[in-house]
Amino acid sequence: MITVRGLARQFAVRGRTVDAVKGIDFDVSAGELVGFLGPNGAGKTTTLRMLTTLLRPTGGTGTVAGCDLLADPQGVRRRIGYVAQGGSSWPEARVAEEIETQARLYGLSRAEARRRGALLADELDLADLGQRPTKTLSGGQRRRLDIALGLVHGPELVFLDEPTTGLDPQSRANLWDHVRRMRAEQGMTVFLTTHYLDEADALCDRILVTDHGTIVAEGTPDELKSRVAGDAVTVEVADRAEEAAELAHRLPGAHEVTVNETTVRFRVARGDTALPELLRTLDAQDITMTSVKVNRPTLDDVFLSLTGRSLRDGERPDPAVEATHAA
Ligand SMILES: Nc1ncnc2c1ncn2[C@@H]1O[C@H](COP(=O)(O)OP(=O)(O)OP(=O)(O)O)[C@@H](O)[C@H]1O
């Protein structure tokens, strides 16, 4: 459904070149729900705008929904849905009217637009809001309307740009349910960008992890997590942390042992089975353990091990580039 090879985009910013996307390759099969995960500024939106033909690549080739990205952008546009970050509804229009109007813009007959609008409103819990002006909707309702508008012409492939940014946890979980159901019922292919690890984990069949304009890893959430070797164990001791770390180091399979003041951290294949032994050895040496925590690997650990940074750090954008955006 999507094939890209060497896809690249450069921007000229104040006499210098920004490589927003640096020649990426990937494939998405029909019916897959794929997440494009990365921190702010990684190149997610730029990639999405190229795939939806809103931005011309400066390098590479691609086929989207069976049409060549460069030779047949109109064919691509006809076959896809795109839900941008900011949404695309007219503030004064009523919800039902807005869905129908956009369906008509895609060439559906009035009857078909009405039928399709009612179906989507039903599926996305918008049926009771049909007469409300779109400007009065809550964040979650508005995102559901945005998605209805992106799907109104029955696309085989839909792109969602950070669909749940700014929503509360309840609305996010609700929206995930809707996306899953619509995918299951309509057999669509979904490609979404996100910087939420839990979203990628809960929703996606497969994840492409991106950073600084390149793809640094890809796989199912479980495959990616299994790349990080073992559980993360964090032990607090009353004192003598260096000695505790030495003892932790001797546990079978323990690795990446670090000490920070009274905290000892390490990784081990099974944290739950390693702990009783650690407790015994600490006890035998009269070292008091005050707390302990075992964490299963997360996608953030994957990102950290691949890039040396946490996705949660929230990188500061490049000020020169930001200034250009604002201008
Ligand atoms: N029109 C533009 N002109 C100049 N630089 C740009 C432009 N659009 C994006 N960039 C730069 O390209 C890089 C990638 O930006 P992009 O918006 O694709 O990242 P992102 O991963 O979508 O981030 P976010 O999660 O914040 O939306 C950033 O350094 C950004 O500042």
Among 54, 214, 321, 324, the mutation site with the greatest number of ligand 1 atoms within 8 A of its Cβ is: 321
**Nearest ligand 1 atom to alpha carbon 13:** 4
pLDDT tier at 324, thresholds 50, 70, 90? very low
Q: Which amino acid is at 323?
A: A
Lowest mean pLDDT of 89-93, 149-153, 288-292, 305-309, name the range.
305-309
Neighbouring C-alpha atoms within 13 Å toward the C-beta of 71: 6
228-245 b/e (C-beta count within 10 Å ≥ 16 → b): bebbbbebbbeebbebbb
pLDDT at 321: 36
**Most confident listed range (126-140, 153-167, 239-253):** 239-253
Boundaries of CATH 3.30.70.100 in the chain? 230-296
Contact 320, 310 (CB under 8 A): no
Tell me, in angstroms, the distance from the centre of ligand 1 to residue 291's CA.
42
Q: Is the pLDDT of residue 319 over 50?
A: no
Q: In the prediction, which pLDDT does 313 show?
A: 58
Query: How far apart are the CA of 322 and the centre of ligand 1, in A?
Result: 9
Ligand 1 atom closest to the Cα of residue 47 is 18
Say what the pTM is.
0.77
What is the distance in A from the centroid of ligand 1 to the CA of 258?
A: 36
| 45 CB near ligand 1 (under 6 Å) | yes
ipTM attached to this prediction? 0.95
With a 6 Å cutoff on the Cβ, whether 106 touches ligand 1 is no
Q: How confident is the model at residue 327 (pLDDT cuts 50, 70, 90)?
A: very low
pLDDT score at 312: 64
Percentage of the chain lying above the pLDDT 90 cut: 45
Q: What is the pLDDT of residue 18?
A: 92
Ligand 1 centroid to Cα of residue 162, in Å, is: 14
Q: What percent of the chain has pLDDT over 70?
A: 94
Q: What is the pLDDT of residues 229-261, one digit of tens each?
A: 688 899 999 999 999 999 999 998 898 899 999
Q: How far is the CA of 138 from the centre of ligand 1 (A)?
A: 27
Looking at residue 154, its pLDDT comes to 82
Whether 38 lines ligand 1, by a CB cut-off of 6 Å, is yes
pLDDT given for residue 231 in this prediction = 86
The listed CATH number (3.30.70.100, 2.30.30.140, 3.40.440.10, 3.80.30.20) that belongs to domain 230-296: 3.30.70.100
Q: What is residue 317's predicted lDDT score, i.e. its pLDDT?
A: 39
Residue nearest atom 17 of ligand 1, based on CA coordinates: 45
End-to-end CA distance of the chain, in Å? 37
Are the C-beta atoms of 16 and 68 separated by less than 8 Å? no
**CB-ligand 1 contact for 54 (6 Å cutoff):** no
Measured CA to CA, the distance from residue 8 to residue 19 in angstroms comes to: 8
Kindly state the average pLDDT of the residues 154-183: 85
User: Does the pLDDT at position 325 exceed 60?
Assistant: no
Q: Which residues contact 102 (CB under 8 A, 6 or more apart)?
A: 149, 152
User: 105 and 124 in contact (C-beta within 8 Å)?
Assistant: no
Q: How far is CA 27 from CA 34, 221, 312, in A?
A: 10, 17, 27
CA 45 – ligand 1 centroid, Å:
7
Please, where in the chain does CATH 3.40.50.300 lie? 2-225
Position with higher pLDDT, 327 vs 134: 134
- The residue-averaged pLDDT of 124-150 equals 87
CATH number of 2-225: 3.40.50.300
Single-letter amino acid code for the residue at 26 = F
The rounded Å distance from CA 134 to ligand 1 centre is: 28
Q: 179-237, pLDDT tens digit by residue?
A: 888 788 888 899 999 888 888 888 999 999 999 999 988 999 888 877 766 888 999 99
